[in-house]
């Protein structure tokens, strides 16, 4: 809504034009003080004065210009490679390049493109893109010594004191940690020993996010970098097992006793394979499985 009003008025309705002239100072009125009134003046003591010492606020309403938005979609089509060529496969792409370079029109196309991009290439070559700036400046001297601060403490819920042997960070961001607990002293474990290990949420140190119940105390544990729901663990009795957090606390796979290590499996490492289901295990018995 427009809040304005336009009106017109003729110049003749403004009255006569004002003319100013310069002349000396002239006293129009001079009122002298009355001495008798001074005798009647009385100083007031005490004097009460009220002061309002409060911040003043005012309320304003503003009608801003409306911001209009709209949604638009874009159809992106991957170009540059035929449909039968997978750009992620080096063998297919190199074979297609060699085939294209042998065509008759390839040389002519390169010559035509060379004239148009030659100037740009020379500009790029004139600039050192690997230049390191401010090399002459000395690094700032940090007077404060580096330190680390404890943020959370994750305590073993079981009353029996156990050693945390291995910690594995969650592969998809620092949100969870898997901790294996095992007493490595010779013949220190008893039949009623607590053998559970845990997965902790780093934002919740009060209780574990998941209890892992292996067949024997876990000496080491590792998250699968390709499937973060899977974990591989090495047990004190030499067996190795695989856990899946989607299927509960118990191991979904475990090695046979006759094919396992004779000593505790101290280390497991996932292999960078296509399937993402293979891992190494090592022990002090001299074997790597």
Q: DSSP states of 190-252 as a string? A: -TT----EEEEETTB-SS-SEEEB-SS-EEEEEE-SS-TTEEEEEETTS-EEEEEGGG-SBEE
Is pLDDT above 80 for 280?
Answer: yes
Q: Which residue has the tokens 């911040």?
A: 55
Q: Are residues 175 and 250 in the same domain?
A: yes
**pLDDT of the residue at 191:** 57
**pLDDT of the residue at 119:** 86
Q: Does the residue 104 lie in any domain?
A: yes
**pLDDT of the residue at 241:** 92
Please indicate whether residue 261 or residue 78 has the higher confidence score (pLDDT).
261
User: Beta-carbon neighbour count of residue 217 at 10 Å?
Assistant: 23
Q: Are residues 121 and 170 in the same domain?
A: no
Q: Does the residue 64 lie in any domain?
A: no
Is pLDDT above 80 for 1?
Answer: no
Is pLDDT above 70 for 2?
Answer: no
**pLDDT of the residue at 77:** 67
Q: Does the residue 211 lie in any domain?
A: yes
Please compute the mean of the pLDDT values over residues 136-144 and round it to a whole number: 77
**pLDDT of the residue at 243:** 92
Tens-place pLDDT, residues 173-205: 788 899 998 887 766 665 557 888 999 998 888
Percent of the chain residues past pLDDT 90, beyond the cut: 6
Q: For the whole model, what pTM was predicted?
A: 0.49
**pLDDT of the residue at 128:** 79
Q: Are residues 181 and 119 in the same domain?
A: no
Q: Are residues 115 and 222 in the same domain?
A: no
Q: Are residues 169 and 98 in the same domain?
A: no
Please compute the mean of the pLDDT values over residues 94-110 and round it to a whole number: 87
Last residue of one domain, picked from the residues 102, 125, 148? 125
CATH classification at residue 252: 2.130.10.10
Tens-place pLDDT, residues 39-56: 888 888 888 888 888 888
Euclidean distance between CA atoms 154 and 143, whole angstroms: 32
Query: Residue 105 sits in which domain range?
Result: 90-125
Last residue of one domain, picked from the residues 125, 149, 177? 125
**pLDDT of the residue at 257:** 86
| Number of domains into which the chain is organized | 2
Last residue of one domain, picked from the residues 125, 152, 181? 125
> If residue 98 lies in a helix (H) or strand (E), which one and from where to where?
helix 90-101
Q: Does the residue 172 lie in any domain?
A: yes
Q: Are residues 212 and 104 in the same domain?
A: no
Is pLDDT above 80 for 80?
Answer: no
Is pLDDT above 80 for 228?
Answer: yes
Q: Are residues 175 and 104 in the same domain?
A: no
Q: Does the residue 176 lie in any domain?
A: yes
DSSP code of residue 175: T
Percent of the chain residues past pLDDT 70, beyond the cut: 95
Q: Are residues 109 and 184 in the same domain?
A: no
Q: Are residues 95 and 175 in the same domain?
A: no
Please compute the mean of the pLDDT values over residues 75-85 and round it to a whole number: 74
Please compute the mean of the pLDDT values over residues 4-33 and round it to a whole number: 84
- For the chain, how far is it from start to end, CA to CA, in angstroms? 81
**pLDDT of the residue at 13:** 81
Q: Does the residue 213 lie in any domain?
A: yes
Q: Are residues 168 and 279 in the same domain?
A: yes
Q: Does the residue 272 lie in any domain?
A: yes
Is pLDDT above 80 for 78?
Answer: no
Q: Does the residue 26 lie in any domain?
A: no
Q: Are residues 184 and 114 in the same domain?
A: no
Is pLDDT above 80 for 226?
Answer: yes
| Average pLDDT across the chain, whole number | 84
Q: Are residues 276 and 170 in the same domain?
A: yes
The distance between the two most distant Cα atoms of the chain, rounded to a whole number of Å, is 128
């Amino acid at each position: 809504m427009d809040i304005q009003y336009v009106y017109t008025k003729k110049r003749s309705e403004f009255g006569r034009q004002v003319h100013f002239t310069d002349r000396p100072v002239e006293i129009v009125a001079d009122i002298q003080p009355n001495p008798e009134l001074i005798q009647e003046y009385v100083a007031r003591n005490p004097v009460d004065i009220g002061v309002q010492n409060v911040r003043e606020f005012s309320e304003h309403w503003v009608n801003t210009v409306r911001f209009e938005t709209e949604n638009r979609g874009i159809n992106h089509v991957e170009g540059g490679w035929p449909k039968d060529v997978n750009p992620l496969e080096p063998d297919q792409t190199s074979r297609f390049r060699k085939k294209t370079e042998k065509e008759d029109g390839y040389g002519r196309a390169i010559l035509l493109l060379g004239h148009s991009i030659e100037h740009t290439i020379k500009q790029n070559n004139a600039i050192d893109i690997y230049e390191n700036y401010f090399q002459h400046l000395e690094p700032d001297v940090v007077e404060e010594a580096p330190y680390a601060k404890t943020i959370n403490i994750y305590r073993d819920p079981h009353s029996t004191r156990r050693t945390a042997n291995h910690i594995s960070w969650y592969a998809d961001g620092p949100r969870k940690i898997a901790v294996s607990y095992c007493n490595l002293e010779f013949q220190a474990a008893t039949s009623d020993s607590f053998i559970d290990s845990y997965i902790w949420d780093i934002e919740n140190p009060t209780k574990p996010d998941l209890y892992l119940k292996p067949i024997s105390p876990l000496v080491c544990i590792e998250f699968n970098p390709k499937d973060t729901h899977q974990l591989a663990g090495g047990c004190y009795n030499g067996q190795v097992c695989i856990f899946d957090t989607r299927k509960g606390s118990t191991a979904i796979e475990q090695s046979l006793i006759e094919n396992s290590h004779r000593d505790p499996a101290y280390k497991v490492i996932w292999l960078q394979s296509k399937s993402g289901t293979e891992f190494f295990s090592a022990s002090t018995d001299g074997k790597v499985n």
